[in-house]
Amino acid sequence: MEQITTFSLSTIVFLIIAISKYIISSKRRRRKLLPPSPPSLPLIGHLHLLKEPLHRTLQYLSARYGPIIFLSMGTARNAVVISSPSLAEECFTKNDTVFANRPNTTLGQILHYNYTTIAAAPSGPIWRALRRFTAVELLSSAAVNDSSYIRRDEVNLLLRNLLESGRGVGSGFGFYEMDMRARLSGLTMNVITRMVAGKRYYGDGGELVDDDGFGDVVREIGFVLTNASTPGDFLPALRWLDLGGTEAKMRRAHATCDGFCQRLIDESRNENKGGRKNCASRPPKMIDAMLALQESEPETYTDDVIKGHVLIMIIVGTNTFAVMMEWALSALLNNPTVLDKARIELDAIVGHNRLVDDCDYHNLPYLHSIIIETLRLYPVTPLLVPHQSSEDCTIRGYHIPKGTMLMVNAWAIHRDPTVWEDPSSFRPERYGNGEVSGQAYGFLPFGIGRRSCPGSGLANKAMCLVLGSLIQCFEWERKGEELVDMCEGRGITMPKATPLVAMCRVRECMKDVFLTM
């Protein structure tokens, strides 16, 4: 009985303190001109308004309250939501330095090695070192060109597996059903793990090279955990609660990922013990370059920092690229005229005697336009990864307090009728030369500013190669008469709610090419 009474008194005291702080902070905020805001509730603020899919909810709120809105997210966090190109430009030009940091969250602490990955680290020495390393060693034009053989190998493997799957179901050269989400995820995982660690995650026949559950965890992180929060992220007094077991899931996922990445590092160290000759006999990989830097900069490139970078490259690369490809192929199936135009372009430029390759990248403007239109309608991160203000600033004359989270609704900007004509339609023809012109802040699929995604060049080249190869080698149809479901699922990378299952068959004119693969 005494324990219950003590608990009740503690709860009452907590509520009194929290409500008092809320009233005081509300009065302070009213003294300065904040952006428009919906009505809020005590303690939880606007959290009750935030429903999935979040980008659609925020678009609805912005349509009602304006392109910049202020949200109170519990007692610990405020947010400002931007939904127009001009406001995005102001945030990432005049205030780019102010918004160079990421908000601290339970996810960043657990999965991002205590905020030491390129995605979660504050703007400082570790982030600058990782950004510089990534831009030079992994994603520069020279590095992307050097890794082209990996992408070609894996695309060829995908094409052969699609062909063998048709033979396996006895279709000969007729149409057969194919789960494309699984195929595209496997392709992407192999490309990234070969670039990072020098080996496939899945074998030539699709079997697991290392059956440790890492691939499943990567998908869980990309589709579920990166969009998850714990009560303590918004109400610090509730940090001891783990409603829904989210924090426990994060810790289990981290343990699996940490063990996998540590094994990759240990394998590279053991291989490197053989000296330069052994290293020269195998293709270069990212882990080797980071271990070399560890010798000269051990305080920066610790094992945890290396593991975090390996993990982020795999998670971001695998989830984002596979999702982009699934949306692109789904859009083409729903727009067969566009698919036919892309095939005509490929036949004219590449022909039927060889496969499309990186050398064709700049000669396929309509294919580029399809990729751009896919990224506009189905941005891989509909809400750009949040930023946080490091000091007070102003946007459009409104006061933005220090510590405010910045959320840019790229999905809403990409569908803004004042920016795009007929914004909901899939129309690659709107880009006459295969490029976006005059829309620097109206087209944000990879973010913008100093924290933008450095992998846009690699993503565009890889999408051109994969999508071009699938269109060149196979005929594609929907599984039935109904259009492919284009509803969004949960996750920061906006996967399709329903995995894509399509019908395909080898094109007659490409059979001879398959015989030489």
Q: Which residues are annotated as a binding site?
A: 453
The first and second tokens of residue 35, run together, are 């952006």
**Alpha carbon of 502 to those of 199, 422, 424, 480: distances in Å?**
29, 27, 23, 9
- Give the number of other Cβ atoms within 10 Å of residue 276's Cβ: 8
Q: CB-based contacts of 161: which residues, under 8 Å, 6+ apart?
A: 183, 205, 206
Could you tell me which of 349, 76, 122, 374 has the C-alpha nearest to residue 239? 76
Q: Judge contact between 384 and 408, C-beta under 8 A.
A: yes
Could you tell me which of 11, 24, 74, 77 has the C-alpha nearest to residue 44? 74
Could you tell me which of 45, 58, 36 has the C-alpha nearest to residue 408? 58
Q: CB-based contacts of 90: which residues, under 8 Å, 6+ apart?
A: 395, 396
- Give the number of other Cβ atoms within 10 Å of residue 506's Cβ: 21
**Alpha carbon of 20 to those of 23, 25, 40, 42, 75: distances in Å?**
5, 9, 15, 10, 11
Q: Which residues are annotated as a binding site for heme?
A: 453
Q: Which residue has the tokens 């070609």?
A: 152
Is omega for the bond preceding 53 within 30 degrees of 0, making it cis? Answer: yes
Q: CB-based contacts of 21: which residues, under 8 Å, 6+ apart?
A: 75
